[in-house]
Amino acid sequence: MDNSFAIPMSRRSFMKLMGLAAAGAVLGVKGDAAKAEAASPTISTMDFDNAELPVLFDVDVCVVGGGPAGTAAAVSAARNGAKVVLVERGISLGGLATLGCVFPCMPTFADGSDTPYITDLNKRMEKQGSPLTLGIDTDTYFGGGRGQYVPEYLSFVYDEMCEEAGVNVLYNASLAGAVTDGGRIVSCVVQTIEGLAKIQARTFIDGTGDALLSRFAGIPVEKGSEKTGHNQPMSLRFEMGGIDVVKVYHFFRDELKDAWKDKLSDRLLKDALKEGRTPFVEFDKMKSTEKFFRAGVTSGELTEDDVVFIQAFTITGKPTVMSMNCPEMPGLSFSATDTVSYSRAVTFGRKMMRRLAGFFIKNIPGFEKAYISREASMVGVRESWRIRGKYYMEAEDYLKAHHFPDAVCRTAYPIDIHDVNADFSRKLKRGQYYEIPYRALVTNEISNLLVVGRCASGSFAAQASFRIQPTCMSMGEAAGIAAAWGLSRGIPVNEVKWEEIPEETRSYVSK
Ligand SMILES: Cc1cc2nc3c(=O)[nH]c(=O)nc-3n(C[C@H](O)[C@H](O)[C@H](O)COP(=O)(O)OP(=O)(O)OC[C@H]3O[C@@H](n4cnc5c(N)ncnc54)[C@H](O)[C@@H]3O)c2cc1C
């Protein structure tokens, strides 16, 4: 047995684990398929019921995972009067947006989608000198979201919001298990710098992105595409500094005839430079630039894998830096739900990163003095496990622009599946949007659990739309409000009816 899994276990847990492994062997399934049998809905864990562990906190609401969704949930629950602890395995809130270098926040393409938490966050970010949509073509990028959050400012602002609201943030604390009793989570177990400890709470919110708390609690989960079983491909994002971004703009616009909207882009660039702002410059591998990037494969500087997806953006407030939405590790080779494969993807991705950076420096005018200035400290997982909750969102909800009386937010962000030829390219018309019902955040099995963000209840295709940051934040915000409201009235969250919460308390009311 690999050392990392050589943990002391109770006999019952050991037998359970062995039983699952044996089931895989009897069925004759190998590798990932065997793991799929074992992982869903059960997960290997220890029996913590009678473990004598220190109780670090006894609170109203425990949120696990401090990404866009979990942080919003913690702040909103605390602002609504709950005593809250937020457990985060990194030392920064923001999840993929900070640790994963994911920039920018995508637009929802739905006007009026910004819920109060997002409006507040945007104001705070602007105060930090991280302006939002300046320099972007607002005909193309419209609707709510659109936050151009500088990762380092974002983590600072999240700390500030938690501190003000009175959220107890536990950094460097990883969820390791859960104790359930009679359809409720009683406590969760976290690995801290001092060792294992329990956190007791009346309500729990799973914001881990990987539905980890839900899996510990026995909630049914799904992973990957229903057809192929593959997750969306992962990325390992990075930033490069020392770039002359105006030179880069002119190279792609004038020499490669990249699809810039000529006049508009020129005007936006001029305005930005006149006002001393970072101009919005983006380059991608697309039809017009295909030949340029493919030349790197011919010369041996790049591989076929490297050129599947290439995208870069300037970062507002970092005038010589570009955020790389790549490399993207091949989805068919690596899995976001297999520990070993996930780890190999990191090493593979780091090599891709080096090749891409080297190619940019050598071949893109403006990159002559560039260097890798930051590497993500969290793998860019687009999709891993998703729960099956009371409501299961599907592609139809997007395609038919479904609205719900218990909606917690709206979006029209398209079904965005990388690496897969899916027939979901149709986009909603401007003015159309779909909504996410509260029931997609709660489960039938556990009464005091809410699940927010990219692991909420939905199919592979539905998740490919609702996974963007603004939508995850709005889900988290609603979960925090519902958790506090339910506790104040003694109603378990999976019985709360969002539409019955007074309108002035709700972050979103369906029209
Ligand atoms: C490469 C890539 C590019 C993207 N581009 C964009 C974009 O341009 N715009 C956009 O809006 N969205 C983009 N997205 C999507 C978006 O970033 C994510 O879907 C979103 O961040 C999900 O938010 P979340 O809070 O659900 O999860 P995450 O952001 O994944 O946060 C989960 C948090 O939980 C913590 N956690 C996990 N496990 C544990 C544990 N056991 N114990 C304690 N803490 C734990 C993690 O450390 C993390 O902080 C992109 C995603 C990827 C991968």
d(CA 459, CA 222): 8
Nearest CA to ligand 1 atom 35: 65
Q: Is residue 257 part of a domain?
A: yes
Nearest-angstrom CA–CA distance, 218 and 19: 16
| Pair 389, 450 in one domain | yes
- pLDDT score of 271: 87
Q: What is the mean pLDDT of the chain?
A: 89
* CATH number of 111's domain: 3.50.50.60
Separation of CA 351 and ligand 1 centre (Å): 23
Domain boundary among the residues 375, 403, 426 is at: 375
pLDDT tier, 33 (very low <50, low <70, confident <90, very high otherwise): very low
Residues 6 or more apart from 139 whose CB is under 8 A from it?
Answer: none
Largest CA distance in the chain: 70
Residues 364 and 391 in one domain: no
pLDDT above 60: residue 9: no
Tell me: pLDDT of 392 over 90. Answer: yes
Q: Is residue 482 part of a domain?
A: yes
The pLDDT, as a whole number, for residue 265 is: 82
Do 350 and 439 have their domain in common? no
Distance 1 CA to ligand 1 centre (A): 31
Q: Are residues 244 and 354 in the same domain?
A: yes
- Taking the C-alpha atoms of residue 45 and residue 8, their distance in angstroms, rounded to an integer, is 10
* 510 domain residue, yes or no: no
Q: Mean pLDDT over residues 243-264, rounded? A: 86
Taking only the tens place, the pLDDT of each residue in 75-123 is 999 999 999 999 999 999 999 999 999 998 999 999 999 999 999 999 9
The predicted pLDDT at position 207 comes to 99
Residue 220 sits in the same domain as residue 83: yes
* Confidence (pLDDT) at 258: 78
For the entire predicted model, the pTM comes to 0.92
* 60/154 same-domain check: yes
d(C-alpha 384, C-alpha 159), whole Å = 27
445 pLDDT exceeds 60?
A: yes
Ligand 1 centre distance from Cα of residue 93 (Å): 10
In which domain, by residue range, is 218 found? 55-228+385-500
35 pLDDT above the threshold of 50: no
Residue 44 lies in a domain: no
pLDDT tens-digit series, residues 120-166? 999 999 898 776 665 666 777 788 888 888 999 999 999 999 999 99
Ligand 1 shell residues, CB under 6 Å: 64-70, 87-90, 95-97, 99, 102, 104-106, 174-175, 207-210, 212, 235, 237, 325, 378, 380-382, 453-454, 467-469, 472
Cα–ligand 1 centroid distance for 95 (angstroms): 5
Are 460 and 326 found together in one domain?
Answer: no
* End-to-end Cα, the chain, rounded Å: 56
Secondary structure class of 92 (helix, strand, coil): coil
Give residues with Cβ within 8 angstroms of 415, minimum separation 6: 395, 398, 422, 424, 461, 462, 464, 465
Residue 50 belongs to some domain of the structure: no
Q: Whose CA is nearest to atom 26 of ligand 1?
A: 453
Question: For residue 20, is pLDDT > 80?
Answer: no
Give yes or no: residues 84 and 188 share one domain: yes
Residues 6+ away with beta carbon under 8 Å from 385 = 39, 40, 210, 211, 212, 214, 215, 221, 222, 223, 337, 455
Locate the ligand 1 atom nearest the alpha carbon of residue 71 and give its number: 25
Best residue among 71, 102, 378 to mutate for probing ligand 1's pocket (most ligand atoms within 8 Å of CB) is 102
Residue 508 resides in a domain: no
If asked whether residues 275 and 361 sit together in one domain, one would say yes
CA distance 402 to 400: 6
What is the spatial distance between Cα 91 and Cα 414, in angstroms, rounded to a whole number? Answer: 32
Question: In this predicted structure, what is the pLDDT of residue 45?
Answer: 86
Ligand 1 centroid–CA 314 distance in Å is: 21
Domain end marker among 375, 397, 420: 375
Q: Are 95 and 486 in contact (CB under 8 A)?
A: no
How would residue 260 be classed by pLDDT, with cut points 50, 70 and 90?
low
The alpha carbon of residue 249 and the mean position of all alpha carbons in its chain are separated, in whole angstroms, by: 29
- Does residue 170 share a domain with residue 63? yes
User: Residue 152 is encoded by which pair of tokens?
Assistant: 């380092």
User: 391 and 466: one domain?
Assistant: yes
Rounded to whole angstroms, how far apart are CA atoms 49 and 51?
A: 6
**pLDDT, greater one: 428 or 455:** 455
Same domain as 224, residue 242: no
Q: Measured from the CA of 476, which atom of ligand 1 is nearest?
A: 25
Q: Which of 47-61, 214-228, 355-369, 408-422 has the lowest mean pLDDT?
A: 408-422
> Of all protein residues, whose CA lies closest to atom 30 belonging to ligand 1?
209
pLDDT at 267: 86
Radius of gyration of the chain measured on its C-alpha atoms: 23
Q: Is residue 505 part of a domain?
A: no
Q: What's the confidence (pLDDT) of residue 268?
A: 84
| Interval between CA 368 and ligand 1 midpoint (Å) | 32
| pLDDT score for 14 | 33
**Count: domains in the chain:** 3
Minimal-distance CA residue to ligand 1 atom 17? 96
Q: What is the pLDDT of residue 280?
A: 86
Give yes or no for a contact between 402 and 458, defined as CB atoms under 8 angstroms apart. Answer: no
- Indicate the SS3 state at residue 434: strand
Q: Which of 344, 375, 406 is the last residue of a domain?
A: 375
Looking at ligand 1, which atom is closest to the CA of residue 103? 8
Residue 157: inside a domain: yes
